[in-house]
Structure 1
Amino acid sequence: MKLQFYYPRWGSENMDWDHFCQKVKQAGYDGVEAPVPEGPEEQKVILDALKNNDLQLVGQYYQSFEKDFEVHKSSYVKQLYILASVQPVKINAQTGKDYFSFEQNAELFAIANTITKETGVTICHETHRNKALFAAHITHIFLKKLPDLKITADFSHWCNVAESLLEDQEEALALACENVEHVHSRVGHTQSAQVIDPRLPEFKNELEAHLRWWDAIVKEYRDHKREVLTITTEFGPAPYMVHLPVTGMPIASQWDINVHMMHLLKGRYCK
């Protein structure tokens, strides 16, 4: 089994794409996770920078803002087709809303499956606050009823939602780990979806909990002889990253933490 690591565009939007991709490549990443604009000229800038630096793309859908379901569904379809048109490795989608009904969110998952069949681009659904898969127990219900559902495992959100390290939701986590298509390797805790810095001893328990879950995902991939596991090291900027009041200075480096997470997981799994 091979691991591929992706760096998030989130937090580096002020950097031009050429410089950004050069930096990502030099750090040892395989690609970038990013949304894709609608305009072909803007797309070309991104795709050329990726190609020139031999980097791959995981497309990112995050624009699930519309409250009205029919408007939301129309926008969802449009954005997924835009992403699929550039043929990324896969698409990570923040699908649905926590206040949509089970049937409504299931309809969105079915739409994504149809687009995957039409385009050949796998779409996986992120375990993200405010979205369809916002909590472990809710995702468990979806996975029981929709066993082919593929998720992006970002369990940091579930810790925040449940105000725990999910010690009492082992069954939900076990099933989730069997259905992972993509990983966001951010470490969360009971009060936030991102610890200040996973290198700090204060967050040893949180890091070890997430490592156990990632171990289970890697074991699942190895047991089923899957060839590639994609991982985005997705520690983010403010408001995920704590900033000092008045000055607005971040108290840790997003870049350094993400690169550290890549090396940590390479050392753990690529022996």
Structure 2
Amino acid sequence: MKEEHYITPDPWEGLRAFTAARIALGRTGAAMPLREVLQFRLAHAHARDAVFSSLDIPLFRQQPWEVNVLHSEAGDRTVYLQRPDKGRKLHPSSAAALKAANADVAVIVADGLSATAVNRHAIPLIERLLPMLQSQGISCAPIQLVQQGRVAIGDEIGKLLQAKISLMLIGERPGLSSPDSLGAYLTFNPQPGITDEARNCISNIRPEGLPYDIAAAKISYLLREALRLRLTGVMLKDNYTAALE
């Protein structure tokens, strides 16, 4: 007899059509159905794979933008995971290679905790974002691609490039239903030592979450407002939806 005949349905089962979250799994006696146990283990494996994935540097170099490849002080993935502080600082050789660009925005792409997310979603997002910024007269420095990087490394990069704002696109911590979620962090007047209340964050950028077009428009709006008000973080409110009405 098939397993389905032994599963007691959950009253919330109809809500599963509206979310990827693990709800209304049903039960077999006092246990989870075997199918759900196996799917959980598969999702956990995907999340682990995302944490240990690598940036597809050739893919980014194939794009029509200028890309500089940088590295943090974390020499490999093990060091990156065990020493978060090293992922927040540029390797001296990478820092020495950066020259002032005097642009409005420094676009920085880092692997973070899911290079899978960056490889899948950063390029489609940038393809939509750059024309928006260009149409608004917002200048961008060459794109900086950072291996073993964390959010705060964008502060050092933005300072060295002498950009007004750093825009960090980074792989977020994988979830069991979203191993490929991309995040965007905006920081006005970037420099080492800035803390997170001075940033704006847009998370879960991916087709199953916040679509590329909406994410690009929201980032464009926040960048424009940040340049106008000369600030980011808790003082910069995301009124993007209201602005469209």
TM-score for both structures, normalised by structure 1 = 0.27
